[in-house]
Amino acid sequence: MTDKRLFYVLSALCIIICVSLFGMGFYMYIDSVNNKKMAENMKRIEEAYKEDKEESKEDSNKKVSVDTEINDNDELEMVIADNKISESTKMVYQYYYKDESLLEESEEVPPYFLIGFDFNDMLEYYPDWQIVSFSGKRVVMRKIVDTKNDENFVVTQKDGYIAVYYEDSESQRTLYEITETPVSTLTQEEQVRINDGIIIKGEYELAKVLAEYNS
- Between residues 17 and 59, the one the model is more confident about: 17
Range among 41-55, 91-105, 175-189 rated most confident: 175-189
- Between residues 60 and 10, the one the model is more confident about: 10
Nearest to 90 by CA among 109, 105, 118, 112: 109
Task: Count CB atoms within 10 A of the CB of residue 187.
Answer: 11
Rounded average pLDDT over 90-116: 85
Could you report the per-residue pLDDT of 111-133, keeping only the tens digit for each? 878 899 999 998 888 887 889 99
Q: How far is CA 213 from CA 21, 31, 43, 46, 208, in A?
A: 112, 98, 80, 76, 9
Q: How far is CA 23 from CA 11, 30, 189, in A?
A: 18, 10, 111
Q: How far is CA 96 from CA 130, 151, 199, 208, in A?
A: 11, 17, 20, 15
CB 104 within 8 A of CB 57: no
**Helices assigned H by DSSP within 100-202:** 119-125, 188-196
- Between residues 212 and 177, the one the model is more confident about: 177
- Between residues 163 and 25, the one the model is more confident about: 163
pLDDT of 77 above 50: no
* CA–CA dist 85, 122 (Å, integer): 10
pTM above 0.85, yes or no: no
Q: Is the dihedral of CA 91, 171, 169, 202 positive or negative?
A: positive
- Between residues 13 and 87, the one the model is more confident about: 87
Q: Give me the pLDDT at residue 3, please.
A: 57
